[in-house]
Amino acid sequence: MRSSQTDQPSTLVRAAGIGLPVALGVLALGPLLAATSLAGAPTPPVADHVEPAASSAMSSAMSSAVAMRSDGSTGFETIEEDDIEADIALLTNPYLEGRDSPSFGLEFAAEWVAGRFEELGLESPEDIEDHLTFYTRRMPAPDPEETSLKTPLARDVRLGADFTALLGAEGQAAGPAVFCGYGIGVKGFDELKDLELDGAIAVLVEGEPRHKRVLDGPTLTQAANVYRKLVKLAELGVRGALVVRRAHPSDVPVPPQWPERQPMGFRHTWAMWADGTVPFYGPSPIPALEVSWTFAEELLEADLDAHMDAIDKRGKPKAFEGARPQVSLACGIEQRNLSLPNVIGIVRGSDPELAGEYVVIGAHLDHIGADPLGRIGVGADDNASGTSAMLAVMKALAADPPPRSVIGMAFTSEEDGLLGSDALARTPPVSRSSIVAMVNLDMIGRGPTKGVVALGVRENPGFEGVIDDARRRFKTGIKDVEMQEGQELFRRSDHFSFHQVGIPALFFFEHVPISDNPDYHTWRDLPELVDVAKIANTAKLAYGVVRELTERPERLPAPKR
C-alpha cells in the first residue's frame, strides 16, 4: 500500500529541502527480460474435435456441462494455499531486490506474471503484446555524459555495471582512495579516527556491522544511513566517496533459469521506508558514486569479504591493508522519461451478450526496494499477498469462465503515487464504459485469519449485497467483513484510480487500524509472517464477489464522489 506521506510523487527538487523525503529506487538500464515462468500452472484443456453426426448427441451433454459450470464451484475449488504460498516465495526472493519501480526485480516480476497469464490461457488485449502494457514516468536517472569514474585499472570501468550515480551527490572530485570499512564514526564504533582522510576519496561499505550487540545489534541505526556518513566524512576533509554495495548474500538461493541480475541499478525510492529513525539527510555535501563489490575488491586489491566478515564477527573496527589508488569521479543526474510495465490478462466471458462487459481484479506488484541502510524490503504482505491472490482468482476464473469477461491487472508504481493504476484507469485496454466494477487486493496477509476489511461500500452501497451473496454462495472461510472502519485508507491504493474515473471500486485490506501492523514498509515484511490461510480465504471471497459482479444482470450505479 502506498504510504500516506506520498500523496504526490517525490522529486529530486524536493531533496534540496533539509528533512524532506526523497523518492529513491532502482533504474533499470536494459530491456525487459524474456518471459520466464517458474511456477507451473495447468494448461487449459482443449476440446476434442466433434464429428457432425455426433453434434446433436453432444449438444445436450454440453448444455449440461455449462449448467454445472455456471455455479462457479469448478473454479472456486482451484484456489489452494500451496499455490499462493509458492507465488509469495517467488515474489519475495531477495534476488528481486524489493521490486522497486523501476528495477530489475520489478521487470522480472512483471514478465513472470505475464508468463503466468499466458499459461492460464488468458487473452492479451488488442494492441498489447504478451500481456505487457507500458506507461511513461519522468524520473531522475544517471546522466551518462556527466557520470564517470577513472581509475588505474587496465580495463574500462562501466556505468551500470561497475558503478552508478548516487542521488543527491552530484559533482566532481579526485584523490587517493582510502578504505573506511563501513565509514562510521560514532561513539563506541569509530572507524575514522585514525585515518588520513583530508583530500581523500573515501571508499565505504553500505550499512553497519552485522553483530548481535554493536550499534543496537540486528536493528540498524542512523549510523548506517549513507547520507549521514557522507556528512561526517565531509567534515573530516573527504573530497568524494565511493559507496560499496554489499555483495549478494550467499544464503539467498538463486533458482535455476533466473537471468543474471543487473549489477548496478540506480536507486531512487528510499524515502518510502517507514523506519522513523532513519530519515533522509540528502543532498550529500560531497560528490559520490555507488560501486559494485567486485569492482571495489579489484580497485583496492583486497579481499573485502574477509575484511568485513572480521569486522562483523568482532564488532570492532579493523585496520585495512590495501591499495590507495588515485581515482577521479563525477556524478550527474538528469530527468528522463522511463517506460514502466503493467500486466494485463483477460478471461473472456461465456455469455455472448455480456462478454463485452468487464470486471477488473487487480493488485500492485511493486514494493519499495532497498533502504538507505542496505536492507531489502521483500514486501510479502505489501503486496505479494495481493498479487498471489489475484493470480489465484484469475486461475479459478480461467477454469470456469463467468458470463461477463474479467480483466486481471498487476500494477506498478503504486508506492510512488498509484501511477500504474492511474495510467490504466485513464486509458484502459477496453472501453471505460464497458467496465462494470473493479476489485483491488492490497495487503491481505496480516490480521485475523477469518476477517477482512472491505472499503468502497460507503461510496458504492451495492457492494454490501454483493459481498453478502458471495459469502452465502461460497465457503470462503471469511466470517467477519468490516465495511465501515478504515475509511482513511480509501485513497491509498489502486482501486482509487478507478473510483476517480467513475468506476465502482472495492478494496480488500487485512485489518484496521494499519498501525497494528508494525512491519508495514519495513524490511521486516517477510513471507514467514504472512497468514497464507487468510490470503486464501480473501482470494476465495474476492472470487465470489467477482463471480457475482459478472453474473448479475444489473450493473452497480456510479460511485458516490
pLDDT of residue 422: 97
If one looks up domain 144-331 in CATH, what number appears?
Answer: 3.50.30.30
Compute the distance between CA of residue 421 and CA of residue 403 in angstroms, rounded to an integer.
25
The tens digit of pLDDT for each residue in 456-508 reads 999 999 999 999 999 999 999 999 999 999 999 999 999 999 999 999 999 99
What residue spans define the domains of the chain? 78-139+337-551, 144-331
Residue type, 89: A
Helix, strand, coil share of the chain (percent; to 5): 30, 20, 50
Q: What is the pLDDT of residue 158?
A: 94
pLDDT per residue as tens digits for the range 348-383: 999 999 999 999 999 999 998 876 556 788 999 999
Is pLDDT at 58 greater than 70 in this prediction?
no
Does the pLDDT value for residue 558 go beyond 50? yes
Quick check: do 78-139+337-551 and 144-331 share a fold? Answer: no
**Angle (nearest 5°) at CA 109 between 105 and 114:** 150
Note the Cα 157 to chain centre separation in Å: 30
The whole-number average pLDDT for the span 17-40 is: 28
Position 94 confidence tier, pLDDT thresholds 50, 70, 90? confident
Q: Which helix (H) or strand (E) element contains residue 398?
A: helix 385-399
Q: Does 236 score more than 80 pLDDT?
A: yes
* Percent of the chain surpassing pLDDT 70: 79
pLDDT single digits (tens) 415-431 = 988 999 999 999 999 99
Q: So what's the pLDDT on residue 255?
A: 57
The closest alpha carbon to 269, from 376, 169, 411, 382, belongs to: 376
pTM above threshold 0.85: no
Within 10 A of 473 (CB to CB), how many other CB atoms are there? 15
Mean pLDDT highest for which of 6-15, 275-284, 492-501?
492-501
For 284-306, write each residue's pLDDT tens digit: 999 999 999 999 999 999 999 89
Q: Which CATH class is domain 78-139+337-551?
A: alpha beta
